[in-house]
Amino acid sequence: MEGPKTVREALLADVLGEALELIRRVEALPPLVEDTRSAMLDAAQTLTSTVGSVKTSIEALGATAQRRMAEFMIRSADEARRQVIEEQTRAMVKASKTVVAQELAPALNGVAAQLRSLGREQTANYVLQVALGAVAGIVSSLGTTVLVLRFLVH
């Protein structure tokens, strides 16, 4: 074939060459589009599985935080309960000492003084020992009550 004879034929040949090149490029596009579509589907699937694992991790983190908060609250409540029991025990012991000091001691001292004045020193000592034994029994009962209360509260 001979070359173009006119400028018009040359331009037409050039346009046809470019059109042919464009057609070849367009024909090459479907495999590239398919590869791109496949890559995008793979990326979407990876993203979906990643979102699922992130969701699972967040749920696990929430469950752990909830468990730790419950454990903290239980420890705090136990500590508060223990402190209240200790304070109640101290108050009961103090009250029992006050009762003994204010109520029983003066009465026992009065009885002992009357017996002494009657000349029965030995009898007064015996009565005083019996009374002190009774006081010790009362204090022991109060102590037992405190221990039983502690045991029941726990």
**pLDDT one-digit tens code per residue, 9-57:** 889 888 999 999 999 988 888 888 888 899 999 988 888 888 888 888 8
Q: Is the pTM of this model over 0.75?
A: no
Q: Token pair for residue 44? A: 């979407």
DSSP class per residue in 31-72: HHHHHHHHHHHHHHHHHHHHHHHHHHHHHHHHHHHHHHHHHH
**Rounded CA separation 147/96 (Å):** 14
77, containing H or E segment: helix 7-99
| pLDDT value of residue 140 | 81
pLDDT in tens, 97-108: 787 777 777 777
Across all residues in the chain, what is the average pLDDT? 83
